[in-house]
Structure 1
Amino acid sequence: MYNEKDHSSEENASLEKGVSYDTTGPVGAAVVKDERYHFDASDLDRVQRRLKQRHVQMIAIAGTLGTGLFLGSGKALSTAGPLGSLLAYALVGSVAYSSLCSIGEMTAHAPISGTFPHFSARWVDPAFGFAMGWNYFYTNAISVPVEITAGQILITFWDTNNGHAAIYTAVLVVLVCLTNIFGVRWFGESEFIFSIIKLILITGLILVGLIIDLGGGPNHQRIGFQYWRNPGSLNTRSDLVSNVGLGRFLAIISVLVQAAFSFQGMELVAVAASETESPRRNISKAVRRVFYRILIFYMLGTLMTGMLVPFNDPNLLHETGNAAESPYVIAMTRAGIHTLPGIVNAAILTSAFSAGNSFLFCSSRILYGLALRGQAPRIFTYCTNKGLPIAAIAASSLFTFLSFMNVKDSSAQVFNWFVNLSTVGGFFCWFGINLTFLYYYRGKKAQGFDRRKTAYYNVLQPYLSIWGVTWCVIFILINGYDVFFSFDASDFLVAYINVPIFIGLYVFWKVFKRTKIWKPHEMDFVTGIPSMEETETPEIPPRTFLEKVAAVLF
């Protein structure tokens, strides 16, 4: 069997130019014949497993709950109506779930740095992994200043002085960067606390919403489902009132991209696998529970907003960027509750900070993984003695300064272009994850591996991945459909520029390195991947009542 320690890191730099494999080994495991080009840099991987089980589980449960759900649900409601927004969130949620199941199984097999861009390079094509990695790095890096800006706008709920915007932005930039620079344990603890706050917030909002809907508010007005009857369950585009069917359909389409923004980031638990204690066990638990998270928090939350506020409420169209535009706050104000909105805004502020924190973590780890495999400058592999990829974090932190562009009106439009350019990147991420799983599935089947022996596998595969790939392609194509009703060159460019960028990255690396698409019998599922004994610690069964409760929650 091939020993990865027999060759230097220079010899093991990449899979770039094709390798001949012998699949006659045990269980069909691939053995490299031409060892010069093997893609194994595990001996360079210096990160350490400092994220604990409770960190990973709380990140999985509430990691993506943020401004997209708390504030964006109002815009979705006003655009498509209560039923339309619910259908859009359900569809995008199913695609997000398929992506997480796919990356969960691949990560349970190989909990290593680089995560799905490395999987794409290892089991699809090194050029595809290169395109995936840089696309995901860019998408996350540019999302950090977006969340910082969202946090600064949330502060205007208490301080409307625009002259203070730069100060608040600077404070948030420093805090986000320091949280990541202090180490993964600080990141884990902060996300643990923020996730608890977000869980309390969304649970409290749903309960308060239900109480108001049933007439338990100060005004004692019972709402029920009356807004589903009047003004109705579906809204239509204002310019297509003469064609109601088409107008309603396009209104739902408009919500899809916004709904996707609420779900993006679920793959964080897989990105953190190389720094997680007992990653196979903990990632498996996290993925298994995500279905219920989507069902309870996203679907129930979206249903509740449609019950509380009519889609033609003028307050939904008043974009303040803070809690004042939340359907829950609108419902509270109308019901006579005046104390909670400020508390809600404070909790949403922590969710914006948490999201920026997570995006910076993801972008730095992806950059580190790319450098580790020779697809980014080698300087970004530098780690401290405690396993912190400080060079990658420093480079990713530079993007936070883009948030200052939104302080002045003269550069705000340019900043918004950056924001729009990053939104489709999430669709490419999900597309690549699901496509990589289909290759992974074919390779394991061809080489005689039993997927049921992996720490996590889903019986619905590969159909989940096929569903995810299909819908991601559709999402990418329809993302900018609105521009064709009133064509504008800049809007068209912003909506679709990610397509040539992704293809350009793929073609560049393929031509530059002369890579090839791996055949099922050529895929390496063994080398450089730690065994169960190397990554997993013995699981201690809970003994006391509190430990049993913690085991259920975490």
Structure 2
Amino acid sequence: MSNVPVYDDDKILPVTEITVEEGAGYVKDDVRVDVHTNLYDGVQRNMEQRHMQMIALAGTLGTGLFLGSGKTIAHGGPVGSLLAFILTGSIAYSMMVCVGEMAVYAPISGGYIHYIERWLNPSVGFAVGWQVCFQYCLFLPSEIIAASILISYWDTTFNNAHQAAYMIALMVGAAAINFFGVRWFGESEFFFAFIKIALVVGLIIAGLVVDLGGGPNHDRLGFRYWKDPGAFAEYHFSGNLGKFLGFFTNLLQAAGSFSGIESIAVAAAEVKNPRVALTKAIKRLFWRITIFYVLLIFIVGLLVPFNDSSLLQSTGTAASSPFVIAFKRAGIKVLPSIINAAVLTSAFSAASSLMYSVSRMLYGLSLRGYAPRFFSKTTKKGLPIFSLCFVTIFYALSFMTLSKGASTVLNWLSNLNALIGFITWGTIAITYLRFKKGLEAQGIDRKGLHYYSRFQPWPAYWVIFWSGIIIIFNGWEVFTKGSWDGSNFVIAYITIPVFSILILGYWLVKRPKHLKIDELDMYSNIPSDEEVTYEEPPPKNWGVKVVNFLFT
């Protein structure tokens, strides 16, 4: 037996409760609402609002932005790269507006995977859930490898033995943070996010100083490189076609920097006062994207010409950063080590954050019968212990980098997941459209919710349009003259048939009913305001007051 709240049409607060048998449902306004069974949520709300705000601000900033921006400039030029980040940022923001509205309405385990299963189709939720879990599990070793290589910046005798030792230490550290509980995870992410923010602000300020001639060599760059060699790089083809392709290619590179931004919805089930915390996080997202991504790539384009061969080096350390290249030429010697240390914390943070996200996704899948039941088991403190143990196993794939052949396989597998992000974003937007229509069909006024976007459904349409374009045309390089490569073609498009097979397979086995708009379950297992509201205790000293002012 399970207790299911029944909601008034115009309010979020429950007005009565009824008891239904497991596997049954109830009828509301002549519409049968199926009750999600076995949804006892064992996780606990131990994450503070400031944790959520910092994770939203800088949780996904990583090596892709700090080290990969040089390759972006080389492919698209300063303006081509800037436009790519602006466009990708607009897609990411529009997607977050969609997932944010759903997460504030239903701050429960499973995050956007559950929303897709509940309001779009169970088969699609199953497919997205397992694809994202697969993607994150393969990214886990990649972040550990990246962090170990960053350490090599200071290790003059770096070899396989040293790298193995570094990776073991990093794995133990990242796993320990997660096994200690969500409070420890939140505190660590708060600390690492603060370092990332300090790094971004420092790079922007230092970049402007160097650009304006404030470096030791006093060379004022201004917009010199926008004129020579130019604002746009030509990629594969000459003329405007080559400039456009350089810009288009950078969309995937930029998307990699935004990867995982939607994961803050996964933490909704473990944060105190989630409706308030998530609303603040979504509203601040525009400024995060503008300052941390767009402004940073703008500064990069001022400092280094796109035809500089140093931009395409792949050392994996701070030596690959365009900022380091520019600062060295300006005569600044101390910054490279500082940047490398800060980027190292970003890679370590990414490994810990991915472990948290995928363990909670696996836990959410298990709650709904999409994964083995034991993955939904939690400790008395709300830790999904078996999900965490399973995810930890994937850290071991990091050792594949010690073998040349195995390293190639690992990189190939990681590249297979490049488009899963856009598949996920597009699916979230489609789910939102169904969610919005479901609210309207059942008489729930969106304007009465804690958070809603007045511009909807246009942000959802924007995400769907561009996700479709990028998914279809991302492998264009394979079809250029003399560039055909079977493995590259597979990497570019294998996610599409895999996604389709997962959907079809689940439908053939389970035959779930595709609900009409007025049949969507907008009520069951969604906590009331009274159940999740949390009054922050008054600050004990001036330091806590400053933290609360800045981050809550």
Q: Given the two structures, how large is their TM-score scaled by the length of structure 2?
A: 0.93
Question: Partner amino acid for 1:219?
Answer: N
Once the two structures are TM-superposed, the CA of residue 372 in structure 1 deviates from its matched residue by 0.3
Shift of 1:550: 3.0
Tell me what 1:211 maps to: 209
C-alpha distance in 1, partners of 2:505/2:317? 42
Question: Separation in 2 of the partners of 1:326 and 1:341?
Answer: 9
Among 333, 345, 352, the alignment partner of 1:350 is: 345
Name the counterpart of 2:76. 80
2:267 to 272, 280, 288: 272
Equivalent residues, number? 533
Q: Given the alignment of the two structures, is residue 414 of structure 1 paired with residue 427 of structure 2, yes or no?
A: no
Aligned counterpart in structure 2 of residue 6 of structure 1, from 2, 13, 19: 19
After TM superposition, give the deviation of residue 538 of structure 1 in Å: 3.2
Q: Deviations over 1:239-259 (max 9, x none)?
A: 423xx1111111111111111
Q: 1:23·1:521 contact (CA, 8 Å) conserved in 2?
A: no
Aligned-pair CA distance for 1:548: 6.2
Structure 1 residue 549 displacement after superposition: 6.5
The answer to whether the Cα contact below 8 Å between 1:40 and 1:527 also exists between their aligned partners in 2 is no
Per-residue CA deviation, residues 338-358 of structure 1 (Å, 9 max, x unaligned), is 011001100000000111111
Q: 1:494 aligns with which of 485, 491, 494?
A: 491
Rounded to whole Å, the distance in 2 between the matches of 1:415 and 1:281 is: 40
Amino acid at match of 2:29: T
2:132 partner amino acid: Y
- Which residue of structure 2 aligns with residue 168 of structure 1? 166
Q: 1:291-333: CA deviations, max 9, x gaps?
A: 0000011000000000011111121122111111111111110
Question: What RMSD in Å do the two structures reach over aligned CA positions?
Answer: 1.8
Q: After superposition, give the CA deviation of every residue in 1:448-505 in whole Å (9 maximum; x if it has no partner).
A: 1101111111111111011001111111112222111211111111111111111111
How does 1:214-233 map onto structure 2 within 5 Å? 214-233=212-231
Rounded to whole Å, the distance in 2 between the matches of 1:545 and 1:436 is 44
Matched, 1:503 2:480: no
User: Is the aligned partner of 1:371 residue 2:369?
Assistant: no
Letter in structure 2 aligned against 1:449: I
Question: Could you tell me whether the CA contact under 8 Å between 1:176 and 1:356 is conserved in 2?
Answer: yes
2-side partners of 1:446 and 1:344: how far apart?
Answer: 53
CA contact 1:23–1:31 (8 Å) conserved in 2? yes
Partner of 1:196: 194
Q: Distance in 1 between matches of 2:92 and 2:426?
A: 10
1:22 CA displacement: 4.3
Residues of 1 paired with 2:326 and 2:431: CA distance? 44
Structure 1 position 523 matched with structure 2 position 520 = yes
CA distance, structure 2, for counterparts of residue 384 and residue 8 of structure 1: 26
Aligned partner of 2:60 in structure 1 is: 64
* Aligned residue runs from structure 1 range 87-166, under 5 A: 87-160=83-156, 161-163=158-160, 164-166=162-164
Does residue 428 of structure 2 align to residue 430 of structure 1? no
Which residue in the other structure is 2:392 paired with?
A: 397
**Equivalent-residue separation in structure 2 for 1:166 and 1:234 (angstroms):** 41
Could you say what secondary structure the match of 1:165 adopts? helix
Structure 1 distance, partners of 2:437, 2:313, is 50
| Pairing partner for 2:446 from 448, 451, 474 | 451
**Aligned residue number for residue 533 of structure 1:** 530
Q: Report the AA paired with residue 64 of structure 2.
A: G
Write the letter of the residue equivalent to 2:59: G
SS in 2 for 1:527: coil
Q: What does 1:216-295 align with in structure 2 at a 5 Å threshold?
A: 216-237=214-235, 239-241=236-238, 244-295=239-290
2:456 aligns with 461
Distance 1:174 1:479 in 2: 37
Task: Supply the distance in 2 between the matched residues of 1:430 and 1:66 (Cα, whole angstroms).
Answer: 20
Superimposed CA distance per residue, residues 232-290 of structure 1 (whole angstroms, 9 cap, x where no aligned partner): 000002x423xx11111111111111110100111222110000000010011001000
CA distance in 2 between partners of 1:462 and 1:369 (Å) = 27
Which AA in structure 2 matches 1:494? Answer: I
Which AA in structure 2 matches 1:168? Y
Q: Which amino acid aligns with 1:255?
A: N
Q: How many Å separate the matches in 1 of 2:37 and 2:260?
A: 27
Check conservation: 1:65, 1:351, Cα contact below 8 A. Answer: yes
Paired-residue identity, %: 47
CA contact (8 A) 1:96 1:264 kept: no
1:47-104 deviation per Cα after TM superposition (whole angstroms, max 9, x unaligned):
0001001100010111111111101111100111000001111111111111111111
Letter in 1 for 2:246: A
1:24 to 26, 29, 42: 29
Once the two structures are TM-superposed, the CA of residue 374 in structure 1 deviates from its matched residue by 0.6
Instruction: Provide the C-alpha distance between the structure 1 equivalents of 2:125 and 2:182, rounded to a whole number of angstroms.
Output: 25
Instruction: Report the residue type matching 2:519 in the other structure.
Output: E
Q: CA deviation at 1:542?
A: 7.8
1:386 and 2:381 aligned: yes
Question: Aligned partners of 1:441, 1:544: CA distance in 2, in Å?
Answer: 43
1:108 and 1:283 in contact (8 A); partners too:
yes
The residue correspondences of 1:273-352 to structure 2 (distance < 5 A) are: 273-352=268-347
1:158 aligned counterpart, secondary structure: coil
User: How far apart, CA to CA, are the structure 1 residues paired with 2:128 and 2:546?
Assistant: 40
SS in 2 for 1:240: coil
Q: Distance in 2 between matches of 1:405 and 1:254?
A: 29
1:15 equivalent in structure 2: none
2:209 is aligned with what amino acid? I
Are 1:55 and 1:191, in contact at CA under 8 Å, matched by a contact in 2?
yes
Decide whether aligned partners of structure 1 residues 540 and 181 sit closer, same or farther in structure 2, where only a CA change above 3 A counts: closer
TM-superposed CA distance for 1:552, in Å, is 3.9
Instruction: Name the CA shift for 1:358/1:246 in 2 (closer, same or farther; >3 Å).
Output: same
- Whether the 8 Å contact between 1:510 and 1:516 is mirrored in structure 2 is no
Quick check: 2:135–2:414 contact (8 Å CA) kept in 1? no
- d(CA) in 2 for partners of 1:491, 1:354: 30
Amino acid across the alignment from 2:453 = N
State the distance in 1 between where 2:341 and 2:154 align. 10
SS at match of 1:219: coil
Gaps of 5+ in 2: 5-17
Equivalent residue letter for 1:532: D
Q: Where does structure 1 lack aligned partners over 5 or more consecutive residues?
A: 13-18
Which residue does 2:477 correspond to in 1? 482
